[in-house]
Amino acid sequence: MMKRLLLPLLLLVPFVLCAQQNDSSDVPFNGLVKDLSGKGVKVRVFVKNSDKRTVADREGRFGLTNLKPTDTLLLQYRREKVEIPLDGRRSLKVLWGGEQPSYDEDEELVDLGFGYVKRREYAGSSSGITGEMMLQKGFTDLQTALLALVPGLQLINGELVIRGQSSVNSSSAALIVCDGMPVSSLNSISIYEVKSVEVQRGNNMYGVRGGNGVILIRTRDK
């Protein structure tokens, strides 16, 4: 009798371990570092007792994956260094300056999912075009250009939809992100200011919000 009970349990162990590994590998961590005037700080970011590291961009944005709640980050800018224990935080917004930088978790950064994580750290199919490409083809409107140049992108009931994408969301619209910040539409973005556009079809990059795909836009001054 005991053997009959143990056998199903033993068979379940590999699946449980696999599920735990998959969950831990899909957890992004976004950070944002600004100085007292609101400008981004290009800090170098190290995870103590680990080989993980990254560098913030000119806006002060950085991303990492698979951090532990007990990890400590070391932020370095020029000769200044500061250690920040995560203490379970899922994101980090830092005000750099003064005698000691202040920091805390920011819910908006959590919602960005893989928004600040380097592209090499996540997988997914994508289509990318440049602003110059759109202008060379004579387009004067960003939405018109994307509908013409991005395979599978459609306009349905006023929403940009990537064919073949679906999620638990009631809406089928793709998430639009401009310079790292979600926007509701393309109407406020001039095609002449666009440096590049990438349409990500993978549905795990921005969590639930990106379940229908993500349109990543970068403007020329970023």
Q: What is the pLDDT of residues 122-175, one digit of tens each?
A: 445 556 788 888 999 899 999 999 998 887 888 888 889 887 655 545 678 889
Domain residues for the domain of 194 are 123-219
Quote the distance between the C-alpha of residue 188 and its chain's center.
22
Please write down the HEC assignment for all residues of 35-88: ECCCCECCCEEEECCCCCEEECCCCCEEEEECCCCCCEEEEEECCEEEEEECCC
pTM check: above 0.75? no
Which one of 87, 120, 153 terminates a domain? Answer: 120
Which one of 61, 95, 120 terminates a domain? Answer: 120
Q: Are residues 44 and 111 in the same domain?
A: yes
Q: Domain count of the chain?
A: 2
pLDDT at residue number 87: 95
Confidence of residue 94 (pLDDT cuts 50, 70, 90): very high
H/E segment holding residue 143: helix 142-149
CATH of the domain at 177: 2.170.130.10
pLDDT digits (tens, 9 = 90+) for 173-215: 889 989 888 898 998 899 999 988 888 875 555 667 777 888 9
